[in-house]
Amino acid sequence: MTMDNLKDVYQDQLQDLYSACKLSLDATTKLGRAATDKELSEALIAGANGISQGMDKLKSLCATHDIDPDGEHCKGMEGLVNEVDAHVLEAEFGNDATRDAMIITQYQRMVHYALAGYGCLVAFANRLNLDEDAAILQKQLDETYGGDRRMTAIATDGGVNKKAA
């Protein structure tokens, strides 16, 4: 598809972020099962729920613009999910706290990718005067930031990193 204007870029990136969310949902669920820290496991469950809700919103926005949400495959998130497999799910750890620290690392990398995607989409929607889209996307962006901050708190204030040290 030739992209001739910002609307084309916006639609492409809606599809790309939907694909990214789809890929990260399964990985986040697996990370939640692998986590041993209760607070971390609960945060990952909440993260998976947030990803699923974000996918519903993105699917709805795609429908509004008459595009197929499955029209793209996000190779960037695919790479990050491969990192989850290599550095958590297939890796060996001497103790659970060290695994939990790595889980946080890999999860936050996926979250930061989503933050970039949502942030760009908000900017595009605002520039295109798609006020309803922008409001929906801004809410998802804010919730994604909240999940990222929660994960940082679990690592630092919750003591996962301290236990792993």
Give the CATH H-level superfamily of domain 6-164: Ferritin, core subunit, four-helix bundle (1.20.1260.10)
Give tens-digit pLDDT for 5-42: 999 999 999 999 999 999 999 999 999 999 999 999 99
In the DSSP assignment, the letter for residue 5 is S
Rounded to the nearest 5 percent, the helix, strand and coil shares of the chain are 80, 0, 20
Low-confidence residues of the chain, pLDDT below 70?
1
Closest among 71, 54, 65 to 15, alpha carbons compared: 71
Supply the pLDDT for residue 144: 97
- What's the number of CA atoms in the CB half-sphere (13 Å) around residue 64? 15
Q: What is the pTM of this model?
A: 0.96
Q: What is the pLDDT of residue 43?
A: 97
Q: What is Dmax (Cα atoms) for the chain?
A: 53
- CA–CA separation, 148 and 153 (whole Å): 9
User: Which pLDDT score, from 0 to 100, does residue 97 have?
Assistant: 95
